[in-house]
Chains A and B, each alone.
Chain A
Amino acid sequence: MSFGVVPRSGNQTLHLWPNHVPATKIGGGGGGSWRVAQRRREGSWSAGLSSSSFRTRAAVEERGFVAAKGSFYELLGISEGGSYDEIKKAYKQLARKYHPDVSPPDRTEEYTRRFIEVQEAYETLSDPGRRALYDRDLARGLHLAFSTRKRFDEELEERSGWRNHWQDQIAELKRRSMNKDAGENLSWGARMRRQRAESSVE
């Protein structure tokens, strides 16, 4: 089983779910039943927050791998159609559990990481616009799970990229308009413009 691994670089981490579990409804309705990958028994990673899976993931991370933990819904333990109240409740529960202050001393770092992920999940899912975008990506099989902040920066970069794009387009428009009404152009508009140009010359 291969997976894409992005080494940590400064503030940006992009996690890609390698062989992602398809984005179907998890368990039966809201609440905590976790869909766990088949390979859990073999000791590789799972998509759950239960303590055994946590241990396995801790073990995995000790080996230095960093991989996504599934979708935000799995992280918060709710179904994909969860309402805002469910999300909020799950978030508060998990936030209280994973807050660095209350984490067991030997696991502060991973608890804090978890906490931040949970927070990100909550932020994305509680905003209806971002949730819609996230759901759409999920449906497409893209688990850009924890890269939303990268997307935020991406967006800003995109907007400035747009400017260059339309500046080029305007330049092209101007260039085109030079020979737009040349003789070969027989469109109605071109004919009318030529007519008008001729009559104004007279």
Chain B
Amino acid sequence: MALSTFSFPSQMPSLLCPHWLGGADLHSHQHQYRLLKTRKRPCVCASLSEHGEYHSQRPPTPLLDTINYPIHMKNLSIKELKQLGDELRSDIIFHVSKTGGHLGSSLGVVELTVALHHVFNAPQDKILWDVGHQSYPHKILTGRRDKMPTLRQTNGLSGFTKRSESEYDSFGAGHSSTSISAALGMAVGRDLKGRKNNVIAVIGDGAMTAGQAYEAMNNAGYLDSDMIVILNDNKQVSLPTANLDGPIPPVGALSSALSRLQSSRPLRELREVAKGVTKQIGGSMHKLAAKVDEYARGMISGSGSTLFEELGLYYIGPVDGHNMDDLVTILKEVKSTKTTGPVFIHVVTEKGRGYPYAERAADKYHGVAKFDPSTGKQFKSRSKTQSYTNYFAEALISEAEVDKDIVAIHAAMGGGTGLNYFLRRFPTRCFDVGIAEQHAVTFAAGLACEGLKPFCAIYSSFLQRAYDQVVHDVDLQKLPVRFAMDRAGLVGADGPTHCGSFDVTYMACLPNMVVMTPSDEAELFHMVATAAAIDDRPSCFRYPRGNGVGVPLPAGNKGVPLEVGKGRILIEGERVALLGYGAAVQGCLAAASLLEEHSLKVTVADARFCKPLDHALIRSLARSHELLITVEEGSIGGFGSHVAQFMALDGLLDGKLKWRPLVLPDRYIDHGSPADQLAEAGLTPSHVAATVFNMLGQAREALEIMS
């Protein structure tokens, strides 16, 4: 009888109920559950209700309140550690709901963090978190719980690990796949200094797609220094874990190897037999038996674990990453074993575990804005304009509609670069290579050789990794690869690790590169069209994080190619010229209106191109004004330097012109709100206006503006 098949998950009978009422809506059944739930308010404990809703008030956390540092965790039993894990989970959810941040990844490693701190003795034992975005539980357990409300804000906690923040953060992170390299360095340093601490690196399966992880593991296997690498495998292997319609099946061959690893049957039987045989043969045969065992393991676990074994690491796993018992046991065993060499522990976790909305979401709540814990709804601020990322995606789609050769490449950042929209529209023309920027650039170069028009959408700071590929593979050979560098300039809450301050400098010094930047979203559309049209040399354009300014978009979302090497004048004035590059032009316009209040009408120009420079524009500005100020949100060596070089060579500096460059200062700007960061950098409109007054000798007005 079919109805007897009740080995279904427990939700089944409940789903049946409303249908007895004949066509009841699923919503009403959820409503029933809400009623049930309020009646069922349990005793005070930090556990979740089974119906998928979550607490609306922060539940009490008695055990977590007693833990300020890992040393307070040493005497806890496994049961108490589990309770601590649950309390930690709810703590993280409530903190992130107020500040925004990376939620899913932190929830997935709660048990792992608790186990690590229970077994090992930070800070003598070094624990390194790859990327660092999953370090929220680590921060809470290492004395920063009271500062969690300041997460990702000005002068508050960093969203990633940071050495200057705490001695428990062993290595700063933000970009991925650096942890094993750093851990190996720390292990070797420890050996050279004769110390005895443990070194543990925690890396995710997404970060494993980067080459540096293999470079490090290869070296670790060779050096054979004692260290532990923990692979936090949540089966995502693609960040941020989804396209618009749902999770993407994992990227690349690595994931199938990992999944084979996880799913291969432990052929215990075979090994038991082998062990039995060994016992019979006796102790003297143990070497032979060990060899048999090793081969058997190779055959049994498939080609997955032998990948790590071949690199020289001892593979242990897979291990259930949410089972506190297992984790503590394994870590204790490995810690107590002397002379292990490099050990690789494969831990399987679930991203977003413990928060039902995150578990169900396609992107597992990887990065969230402020949200309401009981409903999981994020508070997305309403804005009249969309982000530059979205505009870029739309521009690229409209270009690709008419030109069949346009393809897009990104490095595991489909959501962050907006190329998920492109993927949905052109599924065969969008390539996600995993966290492998170097490969992405050379891959694009290969595509360009075949006559395609590749658009490489890589964040400005992530492209740093691929610089040699840009120089050697693209620029040297003059291949027409287009680079769309998002997150240029200061980026706000992510901080200096994600800040794109150097791209003008490192791109504009390359001989064949066309370097341009839009000052608003309409310009962005035109520049995408321009880049699509430049087919004989590489080109790049940078755009900032944030939303557009609200200018009308070109018709049909299709830009018109600009004349290469021509800027434009926005406001005609006299005496003073502000030459802005990119988003800084908006700051110049604001400064111009500030100056207007003091009855000074200045010229504002948008350079558009850093390479090739608009010589005519610069000459005319230099000849008709007494003061020229260049403004850009980039480091020294960028636009301002190129203008200076040109003017010097052209003799424009030999006269009465006063020239000043405004660039990002020679230090890293900490995370904070964009406005705070700009103020810290000295590039706000007030700063620009004050500079003008100072140059004109009107110090009093300068002070007025600044206060």
Contact = CB atoms under 8 A, between A and B. Distances in A.
Do chains A and B interact in one complex? yes
A83 interface: yes
Contacts of B339: 177, 180-181, 190, 193
A42 B303 CA distance: 46
Contacts, number: 139
Contacts of A88: 26
B265 interface: yes
Nearest to A158: B263
A187 B330 contact: no
A39 interface: no
B7 A162 contact: no
A170 B334 contact: yes
Interface string B288-305: 001001000000000000
B317 A166 contact: yes
Contacts of A100: 3
A156 to B, nearest CB: 11
Given A174-B333, A192-B192, A99 B317 contact: no
Contacts of A132: 246-249
A36 B224 CA distance: 60
Interface stretch (B318-326, B406-414, B451-459, B625-633): B318-326
B449 interface: no
Interface string B4-33: 111111011001000110110010000000
A53 interface: no
B268 A187 contact: no
B127 to A, nearest CB: 20
A148 B242 CA distance: 23
A189 interface: yes
B266 A174 contact: no
Nearest to A185: B224
Given A177-B339, A189-B226, A109 B8 contact: no
A101 B266 CA distance: 45
Contact of A169 (B224, B316, B326, B341): B316
B443 interface: no
A27 B664 CA distance: 58
A96 B20 CA distance: 10
A180 B5 CA distance: 54
Interface in A138-179: 149, 152-153, 158-159, 161-166, 168-170, 172-177
A11 B6 contact: yes
A112 B2 contact: yes
Interface in B314-365: 314-320, 323, 326, 330, 333-334, 337-341, 343, 360, 362
Nearest to A133: B249
Contact of B223 (A96, A112, A189): A189
A170 to B, nearest CB: 5
A128 B242 contact: yes
A107 to B, nearest CB: 12
Contacts of B98: none
Nearest to B305: A169
A4 B340 CA distance: 48
B316 A187 contact: no
Nearest to B325: A163
A136 interface: yes
A128 B362 contact: yes
A47 interface: no
Contact of B4 (A11, A169, A192): A11
A170 B320 contact: no
Contacts of B12: 119, 123
B191 interface: yes
B316 A11 contact: no
A129 interface: yes
6 contacts: A116-B5, A158-B263, A169-B315, A176-B290, A177-B339, A190-B339
Given A113-B2, A173-B314, A189-B223, 12 more contacts: A11-B6, A123-B12, A127-B360, A149-B8, A172-B293, A175-B290, A177-B338, A177-B339, A180-B339, A180-B341, A189-B341, A193-B191
